[in-house]
Structure 1
Amino acid sequence: METDGITTPFGRRAMTLGMLASQAIAKTVPPDASVDKWKLYRWLCEARPKLGISDRALSVLNALMSFYPKTELSGGDGMVVFPSNAQLSLRTHGMAETTLRRHLAALVEGGLLMRRDSPNGKRYVRRDQQGSIDEAFGFSLAPLLARAGEIENLAAQVVAERLLLQRLRERVTLVRRDIAKLIETALEDGLSGDWMRYEAEYRQQIRVLPRVPTPETLSPILACLEKLRVEILKCLEEQVILQKTAGNADQTERHKQNSKPDSSSDFEPRFETKQGGDAEAEGERMAVRHDDGDEKTNGRYSQWPVDLPTPAKGVHPQPANVSDALKPYPLGLVLQACPEIAAFGPGGAISSWRDLLTAAVVVRSMLAVSASAYENACAILGPENAATVIACILERAGHINSAGGYLRDLTRRAERGEFSLGPMLMALVRANEKTARQAG
C-alpha cells in the first residue's frame, strides 16, 4: 500500500506550497471516483490554454498515462506510475532526458502530477508475495482525478470561446464583403456620397485587425464595421428611393440629384466660351500645338498636347446623355498613359477598374476638384472614363492652373460631341515613350 501523509521531493528540489496543495487535493478524492483517462486527456488538450501548459508537456503526460494499466483512473487504486526516463523517452518519440525533466517539473508545478519520491530518488515498486503492488515510488496521477470536473469545465469554456470566435470571424468576413461591394457599386454607378471617407474608415478598421484575433478584440471592430455598413446602406437607399420617385413611364433612365448644380460657389473657376465663337476657334485660343509635344498656354488653362476632334463649321453635334456614355478604354492602356495614378490605388497599385475608381476619388480631392464637377463628368462620360480623365489631368497637373474648371470644360465638350478620350491617351503614351527614350 502507499505511504500515508505528505511526501517531500528528493535531493535539491525544494518543497513548494503548490506541491503541498496538490497533495492535499489528491487526498480528497473519494474511493468510488473514476474517470476515463483518455477522455480526461482530451479535456486536458482542449483546456491547455487555460491551464498554461505546453503541448510538449502534454505529450509527456500522455506517455505517463499510458503506463497506467487500466483505462479508468479510480480512487480505490494506487495511481502511481514509475517508468524510467529511458522508457519515457521511447514513448515520447526520443525526447531528450533534460527536456523530459523540464516538462515533468512543469506538470508538477501546474498541479497535474504529484511526486512520490523514494529515499534514493529512484522510481520503483515493491510487491507483496501475491505479486500485488505494496508500495510504489514515481508520479501519482491522483491530482488529475481530483481535478477532473475542473478540467472538464475549462475544456467546455475553451470550446465555447472557439465557437464564438469562429462566428465573430464569419460575421466580420460578411460585413467586410458587404462594405467593399457596396462602395464598389456606388463608385461604378457614380452615386453621390462621401465614399472617400467610407473607404478610409473601412481600411482603418481592417488595419487594426490582429493576426491572432480573440473575441475581446474582434467584438469592437465588428461593431464599428456594422455601424459603417448601416451608414453606407442608408446613403444608398436614400438615393435609390429618390431615383424611383423621380422616374415615370416615359423616362426610366437613372437620374442624378445635385443640390448645387453648376453653383458659383464651386472651388474651381468656370470656363466660358465666347459668344458667337465656334469650337475650332475656341480650341485655337486655349492652346497651340508644337511638334515636340509641348504646348504654349494662353489664359488660365493648359490644353493637352493632342488635337481634339472638332465638328466642321456649320455642323451642330447632338448633346450626349448618360446612356450614350463612351465605352471605357482598356485598363492597361490607361495605366500605360497615366502611370502616376497607380501610387494612389489601394496598397499603392491598381489592378482593376474598382482600384482606379477609388484612386480617382483620392486624386479628385487632392486636385481640389469639386464633387459636383466629378459627378457631372461621371454622368456624361461614365464612371470609368471620368476616372481616366482624372488620371490624365494628374499626369499634366503641372501645366493646368484649375483642374476642376478644365474637367468641367471637357465634360461640356463631351456633351456636345466635341471631345474624344482616345487622342488624349495616345498623346500621353507617346510622351511617356519619348521621355523613356530620352532617359535611356
Structure 2
Amino acid sequence: MQPHSSTTPFGRRSLTLAHVANQAAAKARPPEKAVHKWQVFRAICTARARLGASERALAVLDALLSFHPETTLIGEGLIVFPSNQQLALRAHGMAPATLRRHLAALVDCGLIIRRDSPNGKRFARKGQGGAIEMAFGFDLSPLVARAEEFEAWAEEVRAEERALRLVRERITLCRRDIAKMIATGTEEGVLTRRSGQGPADWAEVHRLYRGVIERLPRSAASEELEPVAEELTLLADEILNLLESHIKSQKTSVNESQTERHIQNSNPNHLTELEPGSRESQGPNSEPPSEPSRPPQQAYPLGMVLEACPDIADYAKGGISNWRDFLGVAAVVRSMLGISPSAWEAAQIAMGELPAAIVVAAILQRGAAIASAGGYLRELTRKAELGEFTLGPMLMALIGSRKREKKRA
C-alpha cells in the first residue's frame, strides 16, 4: 500500500494557503535536483530580511540541517525527525517554547514543511531491509525547490550592501574634505565672493554645508543617500575651486610685488635697517614676548568631549590630539557658526577659555537644533555668570543622544 504524505499539521496548528503553495512548489521540483545544503543556508542567511526570518529562527534551521546526514540535498529522503530535546541542544540550549515559536516561523517563511504523524510524534518507520519507508518530522525539500530564488535574493542584497557602502564612503570623504577646506579658507582669509557672485563669507558656506548634513538620515538605503552624496560632491568641488582661484591670484600678486621690490630696493643697507635690534637696544622697559599659556586642566577628558562632539574633528587639519589642537579648531568653528567676537570673548571670561571652546563644539554638534549659535552662547554665558550652567549635563546629553541614534541605526 502506498503511504500517504501528511499535508496538515497536528493539533491546533492551522493550515494556510501559503503552506499549501509551499508544499506544491516542493512537490513540483525535479527529483534529480541536488543542492549543497550549507550553500543554500548561507544564501538564506544573507537574504533573511526578505524572507522575514530572524537570526534565532535561522539558528534552528542550522540545527535541523545538521540532522541530515548528507551534505547534498537530493531525492525524497529529506525529512529529519529529531526530538525537541535533541533539536534544542543543537540550537544552543534554546528553551522549548522559543524553539516551537521559531519552528513555526520557519514553516511560515516557506523554508520547511511539517510532516506530522497521527499523534504528532517525530519518527521514521523502516522496512525489512532497514531502509526508511515513512518519516514524520520536518521536510527540507523547499530548500531544494527554492535554491535559485534564495541565491538571487542573496545576490541582490549583496549588491545593495555594496552600493550602500560605496555611497557612505563617498559621503564620508566629502564631509572630511569640505570641513577641512572650510577651515583652511577661514584661517587663510580666502574670499568666497568673486565678481559679485558666490556666498558672502565662509560662515554662509558652512551654513550651506550643515544644511545638507542635517538632511542626512542616520539609517537609509543607498537610493536615499545618493542625492545627498551628489550635493556634497558639488559643494566640495565649488569650495575647491575657490581655494584654487585664491592660489592663482596669490601667485599673480606675488610676481607683481617681486618685480616692484626689485626696482625700489636699490639701497643695499635697506634690509639691515628693518632688522629688529637686540634686547638691550630696545630699552629697559622692553619685555620679551610672552609665550602662549597652556590650557588649564579640566575635569572632563578630551576623549569624552570628542565622543560627545565628534563633528568638530572634521575641521582639524591634522586631527585633535590635545587641548591646544581643540582650542585652535574651536576658534575656527566659532567664526563659521556666526558667533561674534564680543560673544566669544564674553563666554571665555564667564566660563573660561576651554569650557567656552567645548560649548562651541556642542553647538556645532547640535546643528539645526540651535537657530542662532551666537544668541545661544550668550544665553549660556549669562547662566554661567549666575552659576547656573555646567558642562557635565550638556556633554552627557550629547553622548546619550548619539548612543540612542546608534541603537536606532
**TM class by shorter-chain length?**
0.5 to 0.7
Residues of 2 paired with 1:118 and 1:8: CA distance?
10
Cα distance between partner residues in 2 of 1:202 and 1:392 = 26
For residues 346-373 of structure 1, the C-alpha deviation after alignment (integer angstroms, 9 at most, x for no partner) is 77x99231220221354xx565xxxxxx
Partner Cα distance (2:224, 2:50) in 1: 18
Deviation at 1:177, TM superposition (A): 1.2
Whole-angstrom distance in 1 between the partners of 2:294 and 2:205: 25
Query: Which of 231, 238, 247 is residue 231 of structure 1 equivalent to?
Result: 238
Flag the structure with larger Rg: 1
- How has the CA–CA distance of structure 1 residues 138 and 23 changed in structure 2, closer, same or farther, with 3 Å as cutoff? same
Name the SS for the 1:137 alignment partner: strand
Q: Is the 8 A contact 1:79 1:142 kept in 2?
A: yes
For 2:290 and 2:30, how far apart are their aligned partners in 1? Answer: 83
In structure 2, the partner of 1:12 is: 12
3-state DSSP of counterpart to 2:250: helix
In the alignment, the residues of structure 1 paired with residue 225 and residue 290 of structure 2 have an alpha-carbon distance, to the nearest angstrom, of 43
- In 2, the alpha carbon distance for the partners of 1:15 and 1:346 equals 55
Deviation at 1:207, TM superposition (A): 3.6
Quote the residue 2:352 is aligned against: none
- Paired AA for residue 64 in structure 1: L
CA deviations over 1:7-64 (Å, ceiling 9, x no partner): 1111111110111011000011101100011111111111112211101000000100
Distance 1:346 1:359, change over 3 A: farther
CA shift in 2, pair 1:394/1:92, >3 Å: closer
AA in 1 matched with 2:253: A
Task: Tell me the TM-score normalised to structure 1 length.
Answer: 0.61
Identify the residue that residue 66 of structure 1 maps to in structure 2. 66
What is the identity, as a one-letter code, of the residue corresponding to 1:128?
G
Q: Which residue of 1 aligns with 2:82?
A: 83
Secondary structure of the 1:153 match is: helix
Quote the Cα distance in structure 2 between the aligned partners of 1:79 and 1:179.
Answer: 59
Evaluate the alpha carbon distance shift between residue 110 and residue 394 of structure 1 in structure 2; reply closer, same or farther with a 3 A threshold. closer
**Quick one: distance in 2 between partners of 1:133 and 1:141?**
16
Residue in structure 2 matched with residue 354 of structure 1 by the alignment: 329
Distance 1:7 1:391, change over 3 A: closer
Match for 1:67: what amino acid?
F
Shift of 1:223: 1.4
Q: Hey, what does 2:253 align to over in structure 1?
A: 246
Q: Which residue of 1 aligns with 2:39?
A: 39
Q: Distance in 1 between matches of 2:241 and 2:218?
A: 31
1:139-173 CA deviation, whole Å, 9 max, x = no partner?
A: 10011100000001111111111111221121111
The residue number in structure 2 matching 1:172 is: 171
2:77 partner letter: G
Structure 2: gaps of 5 or more residues? 193-200, 261-281, 284-288, 299-309, 313-322, 350-384, 387-409
Contact 1:68 1:79 in 2 (8 A): yes
Structure 1 vs Structure 2 CA RMSD: 3.4
Equivalent in 175, 179, 200 of residue 207 of structure 2: 200
Q: Which amino acid aligns with 1:181?
A: K
Q: Conserved in 2, the CA contact under 8 Å of 1:6 and 1:23?
A: no
1:130 alignment partner, SS class? coil
Which of 216, 229, 233 does residue 223 from structure 2 map onto? Answer: 216
- For 1:207 and 1:55, the matched residues in 2 are separated by 33
TM superposition score normalised by structure 2: 0.65
Aligned to 1:99: 98
Matched AA of 1:49: A
Q: How does 1:144-155 map to 2 (within 5 A)?
A: 144-155=143-154
- Contact 2:124 2:133 survives alignment (8 Å): yes
2:279 matched residue in structure 1: none
In terms of mean alpha carbon deviation, does 10-19 or 240-249 score higher?
Answer: 240-249
**Cα deviations by residue, 1:390-419 (Å, 9 ceiling, x for unpaired):** 8448879xxxxxxxxxxxxxxxxxxxxxxx
Specify the code of the residue in structure 1 equivalent to 2:159: A
Distance in 1, Cα, partners of 2:91 & 2:295: 59
- On the 8 A contact 1:187/1:358 being kept in 2, the answer is no
How far apart, CA to CA, are the structure 2 residues paired with 1:366 and 1:17? 66
Q: In structure 1, how many angstroms separate the alpha carbons of the residues matched to 2:18 and 2:140?
A: 16
How many Å apart are 1:249 and its aligned residue?
5.9
Q: CA deviation at 1:244?
A: 2.5
1:289 alignment partner in structure 2: none
Contact 1:82 1:138 in 2 (8 A): yes
Structure 1 letter corresponding to 2:34: S
Trace 1:23-422 onto structure 2 (pairs within 5 A).
23-74=23-74, 76-193=75-192, 194-248=201-255, 250-251=257-258, 329-330=292-293, 332=295, 351-362=326-337, 367=340, 391-392=344-345
Instruction: Evaluate the alpha carbon distance shift between residue 327 and residue 184 of structure 1 in structure 2; reply closer, same or farther with a 3 A threshold.
Output: farther
Identity %: 46
Q: Secondary structure at the match of 2:49?
A: helix
Question: The residue matched to 2:92 in structure 1 has which SS?
Answer: coil
Secondary structure in 2 aligned to 1:35? strand
Looking at structure 2, the residues matched to 188 and 106 of structure 1 have their Cα atoms a distance apart, in angstroms, of 60
The verdict on how the C-alpha distance between 1:199 and 1:22 changes in structure 2, with shifts beyond 3 A counting, is: same
Letter in 2 for 1:11: G
**Aligned partners of 1:231, 1:395: CA distance in 2, in Å?**
34
One-letter amino acid of the counterpart of residue 195, structure 1: W
Q: Structure 1: state its 5+ residue gaps.
A: 254-310, 313-325, 336-344, 368-386, 397-434
Aligned residues of 1:346 and 1:359 also touching (Cα < 8 A) = no
Q: Distance in 2 between matches of 1:131 and 1:346?
A: 70
Per-residue Cα deviation, 1:239-286 (whole angstroms, up to 9, x for no partner): 222222333165399xxxxxxxxxxxxxxxxxxxxxxxxxxxxxxxxx
1:288 corresponds in structure 2 to none
* Separation in structure 1 between the aligned mates of residue 24 and residue 84 of structure 2, nearest angstrom: 27
Greater mean deviation of Cα atoms: 128-137 or 213-222 = 213-222
